[in-house]
Chain A
Amino acid sequence: DQQVKQNSPSLSVQEGRISILNCDYTNSMFDYFLWYKKYPAEGPTFLISISSIKDKNEDGRFTVFLNKSAKHLSLHIVPSQPGDSAVYFCAARGYNTDKLIFGTGTRLQVFP
């Protein structure tokens, strides 16, 4: 049972434009939602998170939107830069635990 889903395995965006990565979840008990960036053979790097009681969180070029009724969240990167090219994982966490449920990842490629 895949509780966190990223339906787009890849995304290609031109430098300077907006990148939108999507994620869907099924468990309404998740407490926090997170986005991680990952390069091959490295550990995931935390990007941004959002509490289940919020609908938007912004940090520089990164904004995460949460739509609880649709059980959907998205990561917006504006403007996209070539250095943003990586695999992005959506993850969800329950209350009082470090256990993360990850999506399958979306490979973002930002081209000049």
Chain B
Amino acid sequence: KAGVTQTPRYLIKTRGQQVTLSCSPISGHRSVSWYQQTPGQGLQFLFEYFSETQRNKGNFPGRFSGRQFSNSRSEMNVSTLELGDSALYLCASSLVSGGDIGELFFGEGSRLTVL
């Protein structure tokens, strides 16, 4: 079956702009979570969604937001981009939040560069 699909894979923005990243989970998966990977901070949790409801939010400013649609697809948005937002943004999906630990699958990520 198809894996977690993230679009776009690469994008370049300038400071002050906003960006929207998309994640299509594995078919049948209802839980989606987002992570940011940077060289300095490693992998950090952003959000967790299940059945269109945000269940958890990481320690990020309000410029970072997300949502999940009825078909379980998810988007995250970053407004007023800063240089420090340059990162690999990873999406992960699972059948149910907090379910079988081996059933959480990651996409290949969206590489955002802010100039």
A interface residues, Cβ below 8 angstroms from B: 32, 34, 41-46, 49, 51, 89, 91, 93, 95-105
Q: Which residues of A contact B4 (CB under 8 A)?
A: 43
Q: Would B102 and A101 count as touching, CB distance under 8 A?
A: no
Q: Which residues of A contact B64 (CB under 8 A)?
A: none
Complex Cα distance, B106 from A31, in Å, reads 20
Q: Would A98 and B43 count as touching, CB distance under 8 A?
A: no
Q: Would A97 and B98 count as touching, CB distance under 8 A?
A: yes
- The B interface, classified by DSSP as helix, strand, loop or mixed, is strand
| A-B interface pairs (CB < 8 A), number | 68
Q: Would A46 and B98 count as touching, CB distance under 8 A?
A: no
Which 7 A-B residue pairings sit nearest by Cβ, starting from the closest? A43-B106, A96-B98, A102-B43, A104-B42, A49-B101, A99-B56, A98-B33
Count contacts on B: residues with CB < 8 A to the other chain.
27
Q: Would B108 and A99 count as touching, CB distance under 8 A?
A: no
From A43, A101, A103, A105, B45 is in contact (CB under 8 Å) with: A101
Determine whether B67 belongs to the interface, using a CB cutoff of 8 Å to chain A: no
Show 26 residue pairs from A and B whose CB-CB distance is below 8 angstroms, ordered by the A residue. A32-B101, A41-B108, A42-B108, A42-B109, A43-B90, A43-B92, A43-B108, A46-B102, A49-B101, A51-B101, A89-B43, A93-B98, A93-B101, A95-B98, A96-B98, A97-B55, A97-B56, A98-B33, A98-B92, A98-B94, A99-B33, A99-B45, A99-B56, A102-B42, A102-B43, A102-B44
